[in-house]
Amino acid sequence: CTSTAMTEREERRFAEVPRESIKLMAESSGVELSEEVAALLAEDVCYRLREATQNSSQFMRHAKRRKLSVEDLNRALRWSNTETICGYGAQDALPFRPLKEGELFFVEDREINLVELALATNIPKGCAETMVRVHVSYLDGKGNLEPQGTVPTAVQSLSEDLLKYYQQITRAILGEDPHLMKVALLDLQSNSKIAALLPYFVYVISGVKSVSHDLDQLNRLLHMVKSLVQNPYLYLGSYVRSLVSSVMYCILEPLAASINPLNDHWTLRDYAALLLSHIFWTHGDLVSGLYHQILLSLQKVLSDPVRPLCSHYGAVVGLHALGWKAVERVLYPHLPAYWANLQAVLDDYSVSNAQVKADGHKVYGAILVAVERLLKMKALSLTLAAEGSGAGLPGTTTGAVSFRENSPGLSPPPEPLSEPPLGIASHLQAGGAGCPWEEWTPVSLPAMYCELYSFFGDSLAVRFSTGLPLGGVPPPGPCQPLEGRKEPASSAPNLENTRKMPQLTASMNISPRQDGSPRMEPQPPSLAATVPGRSLARSSSSSVSRSRSSSSRPGRSTSQSRDIFPKARFPLPQAGPPAFSFIIGGRQMGRRCQGRRFQTSFSPTPPLTTHPPRAYAHKLPVIGRVSKPVRRWTCSHYSLHLPL
């Protein structure tokens, strides 16, 4: 790089390049100049520089800038047929440094390791798209920006623009106008320059505790969380913890709003639970031990009988949203203890208990949904584990894909089978001493099924499905879980239990007749259990047994589970008799052969008008929104799914 020295002159009218510099530059390129020539050249160089600067200022003015850029100078040079100067286009300031020995000034010219640059893995983000935003700045010539809300004092130290942004956004989100709120949320989700405001937004969100009486506000705050979480430019860092605690509040606390049974705080809890899982899956790595903590607190709520049922509900949906492993580790072990309490509530028919009982059904439904998926996912994972050893990765993906495709009605976003991710799993295992899951050992699937069946009875059996497509011939894929399920089975056969072994896959859907969804012959759900039962009875020698850990439970609970659904306790969700399809599949075991796979799918027959709907309606495990008319068959049996 060139060095330019400037000497003080008495009659200096402007910066000049002294002849010494010219001589130096000439020498550096191997030319010897006489004093005279150097002086003349110096003067000319000086003039040309000034000329170029003057010309370049025009480009600056027309570019409507205040700052002269290197580009401007280059344009001026180009138009005067001079070579442009390269390498100074960077936005950063170029430090102009003096050298102590010999009045030398130079621009620092650092060497750049091109290899390092080329192989760098942190690829810079592309800059955001140019866009136009419009806002009414002044109404009728007057500013309309008078402060309307209060601002945390700390915010006042922010720049004026950010402050205004903060005010506007919070006002819009918490305000009345739903359209404004949408716009504000969208902006919050995409704005790249609000990092400085993050603490304040988090602070606002922590205000959930003060508005627990207002479902609407809670909802808005949750939406705010969602926008912040989804903003790709924000690094949430340790604020994740704060956000999680706000969301957990909405899930678990007996909100003031839930006193009034008309308030649909259930939806809020569902939404918050989904949000929690979203935060966890996207930002869980930011705070170590977060998963552990969340599970702990959920467990605490669940195991606290003093808590109201809505809190329990929250804990269940929270676990459900966190994935089937969470359900397996927290909910499942707690179920026997919890069941007694729930049963007591459900069995109390007194008028004063009506509300509590309704809440109890909510919890019941939530648990059912959770354990159902637990079974499903566990089965799937076992299959894949078995397959995976042979087929490797492709098998896993196809399995996952087929699972996704086959379960259109499942509420949470399809989750990876390998959940939870390794990192989380490891710290889960490394959790504090005395944790319940320290000594936790996985329960085998059949045992789990047995136990759950003892609680839920046929409602579980009916709902438990590996998610066959709801019509036509079942593809071979979904059958594989059945095989897989039996493989790990071993040890002592138990005839009493084998009768209820999950040798079937039933996929039921309630559907109004008009909607054209495939229908199958309505069968009493009990059939589902009896058919495989019979087949299994024949092949009892191999069979499956429950695991040791759960061996003591079923006996106690089977008797209870029978009374859970007195007849016609649930009104029918829709007028017409629902149709449901189911498919029975499994493997018949013989003495000589390994077994024969069987599958029976009941083809649709003319509607069974003679059959009174009430005859089987009471068996339908429709717990959730019984009061709401079911419109779409895909979401008809339960609806936890609120699209994020």
Partner 1 sequence: ARHNSYRGKKMAAVQDAPMELDAEKETKPEILSDGTSNLSGNTASGTLSSPPLTAGGAPKQEDQQTLIAVLQFLRRNKLTESVEILRREACLEDQEDSQTLDGSGGGKGDGDGGDANSLLSRVSIASAAAPQSTLTPIPVKSEYDQPDVSVVLSAYSQQGDPSLYQVYYSSLKNFIESVLDCHRAELSQLFYPLFVHMYLELVYNNHENKAKAFFEKFSGDQECYYQDDLRILCGLTKKEHLKGNEALLDFRTSRFVLRISRDSYQLLKRHLQERHNNQIWNIIQEHLYIDIFDGMPRSKSQIDSMSGSFAGETRREVNKAKVFYGLLKEPEIEVPLDDEDDEAENEEGKPKKKKTKKDSMGSKSKKQDPNAPQQNRIPLPELKDSDKLDKIMYMKESTKRIRLGPENLPSICFYSFLNAYQGLTAVDFTDDSSLLAGGFADSTVRVWSATPKKLRKVKSAAELNLIDKESDDVLERIMDEKTASESKNLYGHSGPVYGVSFSPDRNYLLSSSEDGTVRLWSLQTFTCLVGYKGHNYPVWDTHFSPFGYYFVSGGHDRVARLWATDHYQPLRIFAGHLADVTCTRFHPNSNYVVTGSTDRTIRLWDVLNGNCVRFFTGHKGPIHSLAFSPNGKFLASGSTDGRVLLWDIGHGLMIGELKGHTDTIYALKFSRDGEILASGSMDNTVRLWDSMKAFDDMETDDFTAATGHIHLPDNSQELLLGMYHSKSTPVTHLHFTRRNLLLAAGAYNSQ
Give dist(CA 468, CA 458) in Å, integer.
19
Phi, psi of 246 (to 5 degrees): -65, -45
Give dist(CA 445, CA 198) in Å, integer.
45
Nearer residue to partner 1 within complex by CB, 101 or 160: 160
- C-alpha Rg value of the chain to the nearest Å: 36
Nearer residue to partner 1 within complex by CB, 42 or 640: 42
Nearer residue to partner 1 within complex by CB, 189 or 454: 189
Nearer residue to partner 1 within complex by CB, 58 or 603: 58
Nearer residue to partner 1 within complex by CB, 143 or 432: 143
Tokens at residue 490, please? 């071993």
Q: How far is the CB of 194 from partner 1 (least distance, A)?
A: 13
Write down the residue that tokens 């138009």 correspond to. Answer: 79
Nearer residue to partner 1 within complex by CB, 83 or 161: 161
Nearer residue to partner 1 within complex by CB, 102 or 124: 124
Q: Is 158 helix (H, G, I), strand (E, B) or coil?
A: coil
Nearer residue to partner 1 within complex by CB, 52 or 346: 52
Q: Where do contacts with partner 1 occur on this chain (CB under 8 A)?
A: 11, 13-14, 43-44, 46-47, 50-51, 54, 58-59, 61-66, 71, 75, 79, 127-143, 160-161, 164, 193
Bridge partners of 505, per DSSP, are: 583
Nearer residue to partner 1 within complex by CB, 183 or 527: 183
Q: How far is the CB of 138 from partner 1 (least distance, A)?
A: 4
Q: How far is the CB of 87 from partner 1 (least distance, A)?
A: 19
Q: How far is the CB of 184 from partner 1 (least distance, A)?
A: 16
Query: ∠ at Cα 390 (386, 391), nearest 5°?
Result: 100
Q: How far is the CB of 229 from partner 1 (least distance, A)?
A: 23
Nearer residue to partner 1 within complex by CB, 62 or 592: 62
Write down the residue that tokens 């942004």 correspond to. Answer: 165
Give dist(CA 354, CA 406) in Å, integer.
38
Q: How far is the CB of 129 from partner 1 (least distance, A)?
A: 6
Nearer residue to partner 1 within complex by CB, 119 or 127: 127
Nearer residue to partner 1 within complex by CB, 75 or 226: 75
Residue closest to 171 by CA, chosen among 153, 196, 188? 188
Q: How far is the CB of 83 from partner 1 (least distance, A)?
A: 17
Give dist(CA 109, CA 96) in Å, integer.
10
Contacts of 300 (CB under 8 A, 6+ apart): none
Residue closest to 494 by CA, chosen among 544, 566, 438, 557? 544
| Widest distance between CA atoms in the chain | 119
219, 271 contact by CB (below 8 A): yes
Nearer residue to partner 1 within complex by CB, 39 or 287: 39
Residue closest to 561 by CA, chosen among 621, 627, 601? 621
Residue type, 532: P
484, 390 contact by CB (below 8 A): no
Contacts of 321 (CB under 8 A, 6+ apart): 273, 274, 276, 277, 412
Give dist(CA 252, CA 222) in Å, integer.
14
Residue closest to 159 by CA, chosen among 169, 148, 167? 167
Nearer residue to partner 1 within complex by CB, 10 or 176: 10
Residue closest to 339 by CA, chosen among 551, 554, 501, 494? 554
Q: How far is the CB of 99 from partner 1 (least distance, A)?
A: 28
Query: ∠ at Cα 108 (104, 109), nearest 5°?
Result: 125
Tokens at residue 516, please? 């054209």
Neighbours of 351 (CB within 10 A): 7
Q: How far is the CB of 126 from partner 1 (least distance, A)?
A: 11
Q: How far is the CB of 44 from partner 1 (least distance, A)?
A: 7
Q: How far is the CB of 164 from partner 1 (least distance, A)?
A: 8
Which DSSP letter does residue 328 get?
I
Tokens at residue 295, please? 């599970």
603, 579 contact by CB (below 8 A): no
Give dist(CA 168, CA 149) in Å, integer.
9
Q: Is 92 helix (H, G, I), strand (E, B) or coil?
A: coil
Q: How far is the CB of 528 from partner 1 (least distance, A)?
A: 49
Nearer residue to partner 1 within complex by CB, 114 or 131: 131
Residue type, 504: L
Contacts of 74 (CB under 8 A, 6+ apart): 84, 85
Give yes or no for a cis peptide into 420 (omega within 30° of 0). Answer: yes
